[in-house]
Structure 1
Amino acid sequence: MNKNSSWLAPDWPAPDNVFAATTLRGGGSSLAPYESLNLALHVGDQEEAVRQNRSLVKAMLNLPGEPKWLAQIHSDRVVDAASVDLPEPADASFTDQAGIVCAVMTADCLPVLVCSRDGQKIAAIHAGWRGLLAGIIGNTLAAMRTHDVLVWLGPAIGSSSFEVGAEVREAFTAKSDSYCLAFKARGNGKWLADIYQLARLELAGLGIAQVYGGGFCTVAEQERFFSYRRDPATGRMATLIWRT
């Protein structure tokens, strides 16, 4: 894993023609409270600073093109990244074309990267609990038309920080009793949810065994990650994937 202060590389056995990264919060030009590598235009940061940060990331990662940014809406909607010209209302994108950069932005929600074993198909998924509940991962695999994939779970809120109401747990356990494993009682009708476990359970139900990553906590690791739950006025990291 890359130790650079501006990005980290997924630790997964992706094919040699597949490249991926998650940006961190350091090394950019945004001022407080967005310091410093904020990549989101919708959070109140200065547009010029965000544009500079996006240019920096493109150069830093040697991206083959401009990332296909989405207008994320906590949905189950998946789009073909090659057809996205403007920010598209969706929470995942996929492609089978070289030179297309799939991207999602997060600051506590779970970024999920997917690549086929042959390196021909890739996808990036924004998986908050609402998206996971709606089946965003399954929809993405259906759009990719393959389940022969590798999956990486990027930086998200940790299980010790993700407090939810009983209604969230009930919504998941109504789908399957197996989701009980992802919740721990906290008292007063509140539960601690493990978003990584929620994703792994969905992936297991889809027959996906090769799952990597997890173990981060965007709330606790303040120096590396933006966190909306910790700091309501804050920036966003990007998780990107592309292929040659």
Structure 2
Amino acid sequence: MTDYSSLLTTIPGVKHGFGNKSALLPAPLQPFRSTLPEKKQVHGTRIVDVHQPAQPCGEADGFFTREPGILISVLTADCLPVIFSRRDGSAIGAVHAGWRGLLDGILEQMAKRIRLEDETANWVASIGPAAGACCYQVNEELITRFQQELPFSPELISPTHRHLDLAAIAQAKLKALGFAAVDHAGSCTICTLNHDPELPQHFKYTSYRRNSHRREQDPSHPGIKGRNQYSGIIITG
């Protein structure tokens, strides 16, 4: 089952969704696939204004548009997808935010883009499925770096030993940046099981980390190239 944001669902004139293994691109967005901008995500902080369907964007991890009929999306496998909408549905955005993007300021760059002509108080944001604090174990050095560089409590950043809470960090950042509301759709990409008996997948989401662990145990296990899930939003009217 596709994940949707309770915040974004109430906004008129937009469609959105967070993909998973059974529907990499959510069904409501599939008719607009041909309008997707061309991009290469590089764990950076560049935000691109999208003005036309299938626009070449080069290396970019964030996208902004006021144009109806253009689907903007990001591809993820454990990193955070974050999608944005003005509360009246007149402008939208999307960013790919892994741990590098969170540290380097991808969310701040989206806020900066919005503030060129608006206020973040007129916008809402939704954080999609990503590696959860339950499973996202990292090294001590990375935890220390987050705790030293970000103005949040150590417990928010790492609720258990050597585990990083990407969604909590993103939510704290978005609130500090003045967004009107933030919610979290979906769950952990690493451990969430598929509960639909009609679908063959054991896990709900594609996960780079889970796949890497399985490939370490069995080198013949296929990789996930081409199977990342889309999270996207489009202005429809």
Q: TM-score range by the shorter chain?
A: 0.7 to 0.9
**Cα distance in 2, alignment partners of residues 195 and 129 from structure 1:** 7
Partner-residue secondary structure (3-state), 1:173: helix
**Does the 8 A contact of 2:111 with 2:177 survive in 1?**
no
Q: Offset at 1:70?
A: 2.4
Q: Deviations along 1:184-243, whole A, 9 cap, x unmatched?
A: 342xxxx10111111012112212251112460100125220000000321200001110
What residue identity is the alignment partner of 2:146?
A: F
**Cα distance in 1, alignment partners of residues 27 and 37 from structure 2:** 12
Q: Which residue of 1 aligns with 2:105?
A: 135
Q: Which residue of 2 aligns with 1:104?
A: 74
Answer yes or no: is 1:221 the counterpart of 2:192: yes
**Does the 8 A contact of 2:48 with 2:57 survive in 1?**
no
Q: Which residue of 1 aligns with 2:232?
A: 240
Q: How many residues align?
A: 208
Q: Which residue of 2 aligns with 1:40?
A: none
**Cα distance in 1, alignment partners of residues 38 and 229 from structure 2:** 12
Partner-residue secondary structure (3-state), 2:170: helix
Counterpart among 161, 165, 169 of residue 194 in structure 1: 165
**Does the 8 A contact of 1:78 with 1:94 survive in 2?**
yes
Q: Which residue of 2 aligns with 1:33?
A: none
Give percent identity, aligned residues only: 29
Counterpart among 116, 139, 156 of residue 130 in structure 2: 156
Answer yes or no: is 1:114 the counterpart of 2:89: no
Q: Which residue of 1 aligns with 2:35?
A: 66
Counterpart among 117, 141, 145 of residue 171 in structure 1: 145
Q: Offset at 1:154?
A: 0.5
**Cα distance in 1, alignment partners of residues 97 and 150 from structure 2:** 18
Which structure shows the higher helix fraction?
2
TM-align CA RMSD: 2.2
Matches within 5 A, 1:195-214: 195-214=166-185
Q: Deviations along 1:135-180, whole A, 9 cap, x unmatched?
A: 1011012112330211111110111111112222222222334152
Partner-residue secondary structure (3-state), 2:208: coil
**Cα distance in 2, alignment partners of residues 102 and 170 from structure 1:** 34
Partner-residue secondary structure (3-state), 1:200: helix
**Cα distance in 1, alignment partners of residues 40 and 183 from structure 2:** 26
Q: Which residue of 1 aligns with 2:59?
A: 89
**Does the 8 A contact of 2:35 with 2:69 survive in 1?**
no
TM-score normalised by L of structure 2 = 0.79
Any unmatched runs of 5+ in structure 2? 194-202, 213-222
What residue identity is the alignment partner of 2:92?
A: I
**Does the 8 A contact of 2:43 with 2:100 survive in 1?**
yes
Provide runs of 4+ in structure 1 moved above 4 Å: 57-60
Answer yes or no: is 1:79 the counterpart of 2:44: no
